[in-house]
Amino acid sequence: MGNTSLFWIIFNVLVLAMLWIDLKVFHKDAHVVAPREALKWSFIWIALSLAFGIGLSFVMGHDKGLEFFSGYLVEKSLSIDNIFIFSVVFRTLSIPLKYQHRVLFWGIFGALILRGLMIYFGITLISYFHQILYPLGAFLLYSGLKIFWLTEKRFEVETHPIIIFLQRYISLTPKIEGQQLWVRSKDHPKRWQATPLFVALALIEGSDLLFAIDSVPAIFAITLDPFIVYTSNVFAILGLRSLYFLLADAVERFYYLKSGVALILCFVGIKMLMMDIYKIPTEASLLIILLILGGSIALSGYRSRNCHK
C-alpha cells in the first residue's frame, strides 16, 4: 500500500482526462443525446468500471475488488432517484434536450468534488470517533424504513429553497442563451445574470448533496478504505448522465426499484450497526446487494409487462 498516493494521482488524472475528452471531443457542440448514443455510453462507463474493479483486484487484492464492486452497486442503486430529479428539473424549467448534457456535465463535476469532501471528512471523523458508525447505521436503517412506509414528498421546483434563494439574491434571466450558464445583462452590461441552465445546475447540485447524505455513509458499511469509497462513488456518478438519457422516460416503470433501494439501505444500516459484533463477509454483502437490485428490476419488468397487456 506504499503506492497509495500514486494510485490517487493516476486515478484523478484519468478521470479529468475522461471528462475533458467527453466535454471537448464528443460533446463539444450541443446536440440531443439519442437513446442509441446513451446506450453506447452506458456500456462504456460500465465496462470501464468493470475493468477498473478487476484491475484493482490484481493490484490491491481480491477483497479490495469485491469492496469496490459492492460500493459501486450501492451508489448506482441509490443514484436512481437523481434521474427522476433531473427529469423534473429539466421539464419544469423547459431546458431543451440539446443543452441538458452540458448542465449534467457540470453538475456531475461538482458532485465529484462534494462527494470527495464528504468522504474525506467522514472517514477522518470515523478514524477519531469510531462510535459514530452506530448513529450512521441507525440513520440508514431509518431512511430505508421511511422509504417503505412514508408517502414520499414530490419534488417541487417552484417552491424549492434554492429557487427562493436565487430569486432573492441573484439576478436571473428567463431566456436561454445557448449553453451559457451566465450572461451579461443587456440593460446593464456590467451586471451578470444567471440563465435557466444555471438554475437547473443549482437544483441538481442541491439535490445530489441531499442524496449523498444517504449514499456516502452507506458505502462506509462496505469499506472504510478512502480510495475504494471514492473510486466507487466516482464511477457510479460518471455513468449517471448516460443512464439519465437512457431511462428518463422509463424511470417510473421501475415500480419496485424504490423498495429495492429501501432494502439496500436497511441492509447496510444493519451491517454498520453489527460491524463490531459480526462483520458480514464482503462476498455475502455483494451477493445480497445484487439479489435485491436484480430482484427489484425483474419484478418491475414483470409488473410493467402485465400492465401493458
Q: Which pTM value belongs to this model? A: 0.83
pLDDT the model gives residue 1: 44
Bridge partners for 183 per DSSP:
193
pLDDT tens profile 193-252: 888 899 999 988 888 887 787 778 888 888 888 899 999 989 988 888 888 877 765 666
pLDDT the model gives residue 249: 58
Q: What is the mean pLDDT of the chain?
A: 82
Averaged pLDDT for residues 151-174: 77
* DSSP per-residue string spanning the chain: -TTHHHHHHHHHHHHHHHHHHIIIIITSS-----HHHHHHHHHHHHHHHHHHHHHHHHHH-HHHHHHHHHHHHHHHHHTHHHHHHHHHHHHHTT--HHHHHHHHHHHHHHHHHHHHHHHHHHHHHHHH-GGGHHHHHHHHHHHHHHHHHSPPPP--STT-HHHHHHHHHS-B-SS--TT-SEEE-SS-TT-EEE-HHHHHHHHHHHHHHHHHHHHHHHHHTT---HHHHHHHHHHHHHTHHHHHHHHTTTGGG-TTHHHHHHHHHHHHHHHHHTTTT----HHHHHHHHHHHHHHHHHHHHHHHHHHT-
Please determine, for residue 36, whether its predicted confidence score (pLDDT) is greater than 90. no
Residue type for 51, please? A
Averaged pLDDT for residues 272-294: 86
Biggest CA pair distance of the chain? 66
Angle in degrees, 0-180, between the axes of helices 80-92 and 240-247, rounded to the nearest 10: 70
Averaged pLDDT for residues 275-281: 83
pLDDT the model gives residue 2: 46
The CA R_g of the chain, rounded to the nearest whole Å, is 20
pLDDT tens profile 58-117: 988 888 999 999 989 888 888 777 777 788 888 888 888 888 888 888 888 888 888 888
- Counting other chains too, the contacts that 273-281 makes at CB distance below 8 Å and 24 or more residues apart are 273/133, 273/134, 273/137, 273/138, 273/141, 275/133, 275/137, 275/221
Please determine, for residue 53, whether its predicted confidence score (pLDDT) is greater than 80. yes
Contact 272, 140 (CB under 8 A): yes
pLDDT tens profile 140-155: 888 888 877 765 556 6
pLDDT the model gives residue 308: 55
